[in-house]
């Protein structure tokens, strides 16, 4: 298969890429040989007979588009074979009967007895003496993408042919060597299994199709404004079917953007290019750094930022509360912008946010933490970090860290595992204010690089089974991957614990 520029596959057209056509070895005539090493389309081979033999049949054959040679190998017969029924300086009269026999090592092909007819013609065709001391037929050849089981070409022996996986045998699967030095049946060839048209998903297109026969592939993409779920590539299999199922193209949905505290939202359509607007309830005002109108963009995220509605007469958040078996550090109070932190007593691990910040809308960032009993030592609890603990198969009890909104992971470990001695792997995470630098976008006209993610991490229908702690008790958890776009980084998952199911969508960032 040759490579072509993706430009030739634009606008949803089907791109069929040519593959090499081979006819396989044509075989060799007995008492002769085949000249030429090229067995592909339009290649020509020549046949010659050994010294003392004459050729009957075409001396050349060409490989055709149907994977067959234009002519079978010719027959090489001894040069001294009887070719004339007349005797020199004489004639056979009506009713004369002649008998033919062959020298040792040769076989008579035809009738051994001929009778002169009143018309002056013999009643049967003139026989021929063919063969040698071994009595064989010569090499019948091996089809391209196939095999031959036997190497015995003696008279009355059989050879069997078969094709490789993904190919069907056309012609004779078994051939027998006749006494006249020829093979029965027809020369077989191996034809690739045909899978047919793979189809096109609704609101999608076939980005590239290099053929519809065995081992060829098709690549799908979606129309603008639609997101592909399922496999982007399908292969033509040996059983004549396409691998997997045809993918689906669904309209991009940004999900519910939420409603600001003490505010209202207008608009229930969360698909691409749709807008939602926000308004504050009476007695509250919208902060200037929020977006009163947000639009669902092509990458499945909302434009702008969630607005905040604040009460002008109130400048402090309410007391967030102290977790049981823990403590609250409220040194700086609960005013807007102030940070409170939490600690757990020995023998307990913090679950939730290690610190919370009072927002201008007088709500706290993060989630209120809990202190869960556990044998592992309490690791460091840095600020602006959310912590989730879970038992992961093959890992053990694991703490997963994420930085709160407005902060990014500048160092340390994203997850830490409890070791046998009660200590933790990795290092304390460090969350710094600001946004992580984004990679430089590729120049116009070049394709976006795919994320460097192992194929099995976000494979469709991949399932993670584990548990999480809630109020000191383990709860079973199943995380199923529903779709992943390796170009945009969007991943859709289903999170369930037997009583409920959450459909989550987010962006994966590597590095």
3-state secondary structure 218-271: EEEEECCCEEEECCCEEEECCCCCECCCCCEEEECECCCCCCCCCEEEECCCCE
Domains and CATH numbers, the chain: 1-88+133-192 (2.10.70.10), 97-130 (no CATH), 204-251 (2.10.70.10), 263-310 (2.10.70.10), 326-433 (2.10.70.10), 463-507 (no CATH)
User: What is the helix (H) or strand (E) element at residue 96, kind and residue range?
Assistant: none
3-state secondary structure of 10: helix
For the CA atoms of 98, 103, 107, 108, the dihedral, rounded to the nearest 10 degrees, stands at -10
- Return the CA Rg of the chain: 41
* Residues facing 388 on adjacent strands: 400
Chain center to CA of 43: 35
Helix (H), strand (E), coil (C) string for 154-188: ECCCEEEEEECCCEEEECCCEEEECCCCCECCCCC
Residue 231 tokens read as: 């496999």
Tell me whether residue 73 is exposed, middle or buried, using C-beta atoms within 10 angstroms of its C-beta: 0 to 12, 13 to 18, 19 or more: buried
Q: How far apart are the first and last CA of the chain?
A: 35
Residue 362 tokens read as: 């007088």
Give yes or no for a contact between 449 and 461, defined as CB atoms under 8 angstroms apart. no
Give the model's pLDDT for residue 270: 93
Tell me whether residue 328 is exposed, middle or buried, using C-beta atoms within 10 angstroms of its C-beta: 0 to 12, 13 to 18, 19 or more: middle
For the CA atoms of 85, 88, 89, 93, the dihedral, rounded to the nearest 10 degrees, stands at -20
pLDDT single digits (tens) 285-344:
888 888 999 999 988 899 999 998 887 777 788 899 999 999 998 888 888 889 999 999
Cα separation, 452 vs 448, whole angstroms? 12
The strands making up 217-222's β-sheet, listed across from edge to edge, are 204-209, 217-222, 233-235
Tell me whether residue 176 is exposed, middle or buried, using C-beta atoms within 10 angstroms of its C-beta: 0 to 12, 13 to 18, 19 or more: middle
CA angle in degrees (0–180, nearest 5) for 378-405-308: 130
Give yes or no for a contact between 268 and 255, defined as CB atoms under 8 angstroms apart. no
Residues of the chain with pLDDT under 70: 1-19, 79-95, 102-109, 118-120, 128-134, 392-395, 437-475, 486-489, 495-511
Of residues 170, 169, 193, 191, the one with CA closest to residue 241:
193
Question: What's the full length of the chain, in residues?
Answer: 511
Residue 70 tokens read as: 């234009």
Residue 143 tokens read as: 């089809």
How far, in Å, are 21, 41, 47 from residue 64 at the CA level? 9, 6, 17
Cα separation, 449 vs 442, whole angstroms? 8
Cα separation, 193 vs 214, whole angstroms? 5
The phi and psi torsions of 117 (rounded to 5 degrees) equal: -90, 160
Give the model's pLDDT for residue 448: 45
Helix (H), strand (E), coil (C) string for 404-458: CCCEEEEECCCEEEECCCCCECCCCCEEEECCCCCCCCCCCCCCCCCCCCCCCCC
Cα separation, 300 vs 307, whole angstroms? 19
Strands 107-109 and 189-192: unpaired
- Give the HSE-up count for residue 315: Cα atoms under 13 Å, Cβ half-sphere: 2
Strands 430-433 and 407-411: antiparallel
Of residues 110, 491, 473, the one with CA closest to residue 299:
491
Residue 128 tokens read as: 């021929």
Cα separation, 171 vs 173, whole angstroms? 6
């Amino acid at each position: 298969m040759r490579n072509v520029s993706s430009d030739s596959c634009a606008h949803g057209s089907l791109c069929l890429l040519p593959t090499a056509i081979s006819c396989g070895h044509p075989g060799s005539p007995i008492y002769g040989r085949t000249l030429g090493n090229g067995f592909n389309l339009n290649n020509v081979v020549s046949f010659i007979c050994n010294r003392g033999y004459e050729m009957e049949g075409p001396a050349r054959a060409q490989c055709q588009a149907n994977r067959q040679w234009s002519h079978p190998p010719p027959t090489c017969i001894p040069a001294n074979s009887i070719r004339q029924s007349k005797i020199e300086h004489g004639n056979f009269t009506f009713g004369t009967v002649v008998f033919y026999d062959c020298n040792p090592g040769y076989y008579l092909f035809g009738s051994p007895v001929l009778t002169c007819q009143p018309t002056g013609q013999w009643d049967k065709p003139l026989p021929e003496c063919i063969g040698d001391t071994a009595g064989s037929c010569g090499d019948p050849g091996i089809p391209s993408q196939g095999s031959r089981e036997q190497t015995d070409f003696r008279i009355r022996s059989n050879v069997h042919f078969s094709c490789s996986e993904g190919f069907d045998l056309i012609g004779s699967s078994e051939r027998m060597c006749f006494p006249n030095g020829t093979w029965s049946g027809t020369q077989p060839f191996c034809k690739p299994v045909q899978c047919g048209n793979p189809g096109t998903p609704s609101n999608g297109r076939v980005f590239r199709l290099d053929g519809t026969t065995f081992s060829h592939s098709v690549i799908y993409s979606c129309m603008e404004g639609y997101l592909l779920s399922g496999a982007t590539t399908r292969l033509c299999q040996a059983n004549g079917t396409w691998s997997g199922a045809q993918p689906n193209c669904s309209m991009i949905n940004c999900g519910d953007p939420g409603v600001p505290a003490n505010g209202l939202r207008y608009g229930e359509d969360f698909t691409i290019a749709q807008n939602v607007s926000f308004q504050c309830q009476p007695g509250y005002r919208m902060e200037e750094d929020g977006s009163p109108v947000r639009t669902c963009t092509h990458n499945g995220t909302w434009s702008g930022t969630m607005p905040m509605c604040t009460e002008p007469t109130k400048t402090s958040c309410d007391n967030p509360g102290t977790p049981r078996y823990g403590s609250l550090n409220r040194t700086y109070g609960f005013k807007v912008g102030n940070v409170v932190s939490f600690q757990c007593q020995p023998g307990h691990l913090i679950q939730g946010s290690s610190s919370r910040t009072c927002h201008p809308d007088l709500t706290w960032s993060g989630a209120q933490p809990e202190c869960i009993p556990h044998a592992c030592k309490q690791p460091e609890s840095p600020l602006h970090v959310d912590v989730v603990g879970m038992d992961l198969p093959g890992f053990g009890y694991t703490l997963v860290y994420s930085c709160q909104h407005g902060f990014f992971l500048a160092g340390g470990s994203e997850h830490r595992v409890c070791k046998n001695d009660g200590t933790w792997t990795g290092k304390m995470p460090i969350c710094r204010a600001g946004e992580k630098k984004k990679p430089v976008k590729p120049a116009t006209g070049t394709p976006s690089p795919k994320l460097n993610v192992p194929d099995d991490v976000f494979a469709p229908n991949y399932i993670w089974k584990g548990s999480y702690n809630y109020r000191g008790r383990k709860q079973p958890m199943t995380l199923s991957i529903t779709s992943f776009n390796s170009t945009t980084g969007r991943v859709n998952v289903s999170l369930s614990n037997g009583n409920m199911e959450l459909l989550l969508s987010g962006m994966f960032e590597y590095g």
